[in-house]
Copies of this chain bind each other. A is one copy, B any other.
Amino acid sequence: MTKGRVEAFSDGVLAVAITLLVLDLKFDSEPGHASVAHQISKNWPSYLAYAVSFIVIGVIWVNHHALFSLIAHVDRVFLFQNLMLLMFVTTMPFTTSTLAKFLSAGGADARWAVVLYGVSNIGMSWGYFAMLHRMIHHGLLRTPVDAATGRAALIRFGIGNIAYPVATGIGLLWPPSMLITTGSMAVYYMFEQTQLLPGGDD
């Protein structure tokens, strides 16, 4: 099976999901509502969460693009791993808006929102790791890598598998930290961590 349509479908889902994030942004102009200045000061989590989640999905796309450039062909298991990754990506507009809403509202329920947002991130991290693992160990790579290189790639790329659950745990103690830790992880993944790309530019 060729990989072209997998890229096209993934691009489509990522593009829709990243754009749907905007549906959570809104201002109220009806008479009798709070002034815009007050709305901004109350709804800042929405704007910050929008930016963080946009970058998270954007980085996922950049790495998806980079990893697929290493692949010669795909198999059916890999397609379903990719689908699982996309499933967690599509939950982002929901978990992002939930996190923003509960951070704005304050109160104990914000912890539920942290857990939900954490599940999105953990699911994407694990899904990605499964794909990278299969690429390396089931002969999907265009140029096979030796065991040490493959192992190193999995370790460096797989840090999120542990970091996201830890971030969620911290978020349970102090909910706003969730946006900080997630944003930091996105910065980590902005750099090409697998070291599998020949001559990366960063």
Contact = CB atoms under 8 A, between A and B. Distances in A.
Interface of A: 1-2, 5-9, 11-23, 25-27, 29-31, 35-37, 40, 51, 54-55, 58, 61-62, 65-66, 68-69, 75-77, 79-80, 83, 86-87, 90-91, 93-94, 97-98, 101-102, 104-105, 109, 112-113, 190, 192, 200-202
A2 B142 CA distance: 15
B11 A8 contact: yes
A27 B101 contact: yes
Chain A interface, DSSP helix/strand/loop, else mixed:
helix
A20 B17 contact: no
Given A22-B91, A29-B109, A58-B80, 16 more contacts: A1-B66, A2-B69, A5-B68, A8-B8, A9-B11, A9-B65, A11-B15, A13-B19, A19-B90, A22-B90, A26-B97, A27-B102, A29-B98, A36-B113, A66-B76, A76-B192
Nearest to A14: B9
B91 A25 contact: yes
15 contacts: A1-B65, A5-B11, A5-B68, A12-B12, A16-B19, A17-B19, A26-B98, A27-B113, A29-B104, A29-B105, A35-B109, A37-B112, A62-B76, A76-B200, A76-B202
